[in-house]
Every structure is written in structure tokens, then in C-alpha cells.
Amino acid sequence: MRPVISVSRVLMDGEETGDWKLLGNALYRESLWSLPNMVPCSVTVTMLAGYDPVPPDIVRLVCSMVAAGLVQQSNGGPGAHRDESYARIDDVQIGYRQGDSEIIDALELPEGTKRALRNRFGMRGIAIGVFR
């Protein structure tokens, strides 16, 4: 999960509320965030979060993605040259990946990388109840 450094404002359905408490990376309040069996309210949080400094492997991943995007764009854009899986010189043959292993956009992360990032940094926010 991304570290939350501070929260400066919380809006519930567009109205500012101050009855919350930041504990670690989670916001708690004494009353419910929305009433049971009702349409959930919209919660907007203004916060400062992230890593300082950004981990070196993440910087490397982002730089690699930018480089791949620039090369892809200079070669005709996404899908112009699908991911080759093999090439033969004699009697010229070129094979391409197909199905789940096919990469159409160079900026698309492989499933293994997505899974590793999800395991390392967690998932999106969830509501877990009230604090008393």
C-alpha cells in the first residue's frame, strides 16, 4: 500500500467533513461512511502520499516504459509491428506471438509484472467499518 503522509481534506457527497481520523494509511470515522442499505456516498480525499525517494526499480521501470513508447511511436504506433516471436533468414519467415502472450502495445505490462506490483504496493482503497 502507498504510504499516506497527510490528509488535508475529506468531502462526502461534496460536503466537507472533519469527523475523521488518519491512522496509518487508513481514514476512520465514528459514524458510518454511508447508511446501510442505501446508495453509497461519494468520498473525495485530498492527501499527500507516495514514496520519497521513489524506489530505484520503479524509476527504471518507468524509464523503460517511456523508452519503449518512444520507439513504438517512431515505428508507427501501437499495433503497427506486433510482437515477433521468431524470424528466419533463409526462406524468410517471421512468426508472431498470438493469444494471451501477444503484445500489441509496448506500454502494456506483462501479467507477471502487474501481479508483482500489486503484491508489493497493494490494492485500491476499501471501506472497512467504523472507529469508536
What pLDDT is recorded for position 131? Answer: 46
Same domain (yes/no): 44, 83 = no
Least confident among 14-18, 47-51, 118-122: 118-122
Residue 87 belongs to a domain = yes
Let me know whether 94 and 61 are in one domain: yes
Q: Where does the chain have alpha helices with state H?
A: 56-74, 111-121
Q: Note whether 44 and 66 are same-domain residues.
A: no
Same domain, 63 and 98: yes
Q: What is the mean pLDDT of the segment spanning 67-73? A: 86
Query: Average pLDDT in the 66-77 region?
Result: 84
How deeply is 47 buried, as exposed, middle or buried, from its count of CB atoms within 10 A (0-12, 13-18, 19+)? middle
The pairing of beta strand 26-29 with beta strand 20-23: antiparallel
Cα radius of gyration rounded to whole Å, the chain: 23
34: CB partners within 8 A, 6+ apart: 40, 41
The confidence score (pLDDT) of residue 47 equals 93
- Do residue 63 and residue 40 come from a single domain? no
For the chain, the average pLDDT equals 81
For residue 132, the model assigns a pLDDT of: 43
Claim to verify: residue 92 and residue 62 sit in the same structural domain = yes
pLDDT digits (tens, 9 = 90+) for 46-61: 999 888 888 999 999 9
Rounded to whole angstroms, the maximal C-alpha distance in the chain is 75
Q: Identify whether 70 is part of a domain.
A: yes
Show the domain range for 87.
56-103
101 or 1: whose pLDDT is higher?
101
Q: Which residue carries 481514514 as its cell? A: 27
Q: How many domains are there within the chain?
A: 2
Is 9 in the same domain as 44? yes
Any domain includes 34: yes
Same-domain check for residues 12 and 39:
yes
Same domain, 42 and 66: no
Residue 108 located in a structural domain: no
Q: Is residue 124 part of a domain?
A: no
pLDDT of residue 35 exceeding 60, the answer is yes
Q: Is residue 71 part of a domain?
A: yes
pLDDT at position 94 is 77
